[in-house]
Amino acid sequence: MMTWRIGTVISTGRAWRGALELEVTLDRPLPGRAAEGTADGAAGPVTVRALAYTDLVGQPAAGDALLLNVSALARGLGTGGYALVVGPAAAGTQLPADPPVGPGHLVKARYTPLQSMVLGVDEQESPHHAVLADADSLDGMPVVVADLHSALPAVVAGLRHAAAASGRDPGDLQIAYVMTDGGALPAAFSRTVAALRDTSWLTTCVTVGQAYGGDLEAVTVHTGLLAARHVAGCDVAVVAQGPGNLGTGTRWGYSGVAAGEAVNAAATLTGRPVASLRVSGADPRDRHLGISHHSLTAYGRVALAPADVPVPVPTTDVENLPAWGPDLTRRIHEQATALATPTARHTLVDVPADTTLLETLRTSPAGLRTMGRGLDADPASFVAAAVAGIHAHQLATTTDPAPDTAP
């Protein structure tokens, strides 16, 4: 939630590299505060400090009208004590109404012009704070970790496919998506999440870190997972970044490296980590052909806790699909073996994949697309994610307690 104001620059103040302090007069008082010099707030100037990031909004000068984010000031938070400059305000700009006064002081996209105020499921004002205050275990809940956002609908399809195969109503599955902040920050940017939520393929979306806009907000992946289990009551959680993926063609310079840390978080909380492989049979870049180097680094180097690594074993009719073939199957299994061998940390799990799984994938209410390619152009990408869902369902239906896998 944001509280907006238009401010007129009275004077400029201190400046440092990339930032400029301003003194501004607001067009109206902050919520719940009377204007200066009046008893009822009906008239009079309201002067506050503002901060402009000059690389983003230029160099405001005295007399300029500016669009301001005053959310933190309205809540009485520190946050540097500033209104944050979003940009110039055009004449006649109509601002949204102030959000209702309510609990919540968690700031996401912090200290940016568009920082957002939310009620964190784990903060003191939350009705769930008492539940999470001492929560320390996922009780063996399977946690599927994926690199790309595009894996999400395929993992969920795999979960539902396995449920149906076991005679269970897939609609009974309680599935949480824990959205990390490696890609898009607003959950609303994801049409995938909207489609999965609207059709009840997902039970809840928990946005963690700087990501925001989920059904539940949490500070960390750890509290996001605990909320998925103890607040939303989910059977399985899927952890992946939002839409978008930053990569630089280097071993370490990509946002999906956080997948390894998510494995550690799940294990630390006595969940059952399931490492979904990023696979492609159509990517023209050798580093992403077969198992992507992103998965090899995140799970092979960053993940310090053991995880199950589902590996697709295609039937002949699946293996004969375009952009697959025996060579790709062989490459995937060789790379998976190399991933698991050096430390003997992870457990490879062969999961059969037949055409009925492809049929389930085609029923997804969210479009299946990764790096510009759909299911028919790169079936291995989605099948590899789906078999992680199949294995997670098997774990969710076992009664054995989770092993102590904390790093």
CA–CA dist 373, 361 (Å, integer): 14
Strands 272-275 and 369-370: unpaired
Residues 6+ apart with CB under 8 A from 228: 141, 176, 178, 204, 206, 216, 234, 237
What are the tokens at 329? 């199957």
Write b or e for each residue in 276-315: b if 16 or more Cβ atoms lie within 10 A of its Cβ, otherwise e: bbbbbbbbeeeebbbbbbbbbbbbbebbbbbbbbbbbbbe
Which pLDDT score is estimated for 79? 56
- C-alpha of 382 from chain center: 19
Which pLDDT score is estimated for 200? 97
Query: H/E element holding 353?
Result: strand 347-353
CA–CA dist 309, 113 (Å, integer): 41
CA–CA dist 243, 309 (Å, integer): 23
Please, what are the averages of pLDDT over each run of 10 residues along the chain (407 residues)?
93 95 94 53 73 95 96 76 92 87 82 89 93 95 97 98 97 97 94 97 97 96 98 98 89 91 98 98 92 95 96 97 95 95 88 98 96 95 98 87 46
Asked if 204 contacts 265 with a C-beta cutoff of 8 angstroms, the reply is no
What are the tokens at 115? 């920082």
Which pLDDT score is estimated for 219? 96
Which pLDDT score is estimated for 163? 98
From edge to edge, which strands make up the β-sheet containing 272-275?
Answer: 216-217, 204-207, 175-180, 236-241, 142-145, 272-275, 308-314, 347-353
Which pLDDT score is estimated for 77? 74
Q: Residue 137, Cβ neighbours under 10 Å: how many?
A: 14
> Which string of DSSP letters, residue by residue, matches 278-338?
-EESS-SSGGGSEE-HHHHHIIIII--S--EEEEEEE-HHHHTSTT--HHHHHHHHHHHHH
Distances (CA, A) of 222 to 68, 186, 228, 294: 33, 19, 10, 22
Strands 19-26 and 4-16: antiparallel
Reduce the DSSP state of residue 67 to 3 states and report it.
strand
Q: Mind listing the domains of the chain with CATH numbers?
A: 4-117 (no CATH), 132-396 (3.40.50)
CA–CA dist 271, 72 (Å, integer): 36
155-199 tens-digit pLDDT:
999 999 999 999 999 999 999 999 999 999 999 999 999 999 999
Q: Is the pTM of this model over 0.75?
A: yes
Distances (CA, A) of 132 to 119, 153, 180, 271, 334: 14, 28, 19, 16, 42
Which pLDDT score is estimated for 44? 55
Which pLDDT score is estimated for 37? 43
Q: Residue 85, Cβ neighbours under 10 Å: how many?
A: 27
> Which string of DSSP letters, residue by residue, matches 17-64?
TTEEEEEEEESSPPTT-PPTT-SSSSSS-EEEEEEEEHHHH----TT-
Q: Residue 326, Cβ neighbours under 10 Å: how many?
A: 11
Reduce the DSSP state of residue 214 to 3 states and report it.
coil
